[in-house]
Amino acid sequence: MASKVEALCCSSLSSLSVLLLLLFVSGQKLHLVQGEKTWCVAKPSADDATLLANLNYACSQVDCSVLQKSCSCFYPDNLISHASIVMNLYYQCKGRNNWNCYFNNSALIVITDPSYGNCAYA
């Protein structure tokens, strides 16, 4: 009996996984569980020129004062960290739509909070 229940659960989970994948691929905004949050971060493979362009663009659209030297998100003082912070600010301010985290294919949407130390991602 237990194996039938497990098989049914696995089958349901597989169907749900396929549905979620299709929704993600189709570009739909997706909230799996009420209150679940997503963040936008720079891809580790993104080149410095793209990250700098992303940083400049995002900061022209949102308040990037969290990156000032006296603020909690200044460290680590490197391009990928700073770009991730402001790309996420932009993504959050624009409504957490997939297209607001594209940045010329140099960003990822994550479901694990990237906050660290005293730097809280919005």
Task: Give the pLDDT confidence of 52-64 residue by residue, as tens digits.
Answer: 999 999 999 999 9
* Spans of all domains in the chain: 1-30, 31-122
pLDDT band of 35, cuts 50, 70, 90: low
CA dist 91 and 62 (Å) reads 10
Mean per-residue pLDDT of the chain: 79
pLDDT for the residue 91:
98
Q: What is the DSSP letter of 71?
A: S
pLDDT, one tens digit per residue, over 89-120 is 999 999 999 999 999 999 999 999 999 999 99
Does residue 76 have a cis peptide bond before it, meaning omega lies within 30 degrees of 0?
Answer: yes
What is the SS3 assignment for 44? coil
What is the phi-psi region of residue 54: left when phi exceeds 0, alpha when psi lies from -120 to 50, beta otherwise? alpha
DSSP 48-62: HHHHHHHHHHHHHHS
CA dist 66 and 9 (Å) reads 45
Q: How many residues does the chain have?
A: 122
pLDDT band of 122, cuts 50, 70, 90: confident
| Average of per-residue pLDDT across 30-34 | 47
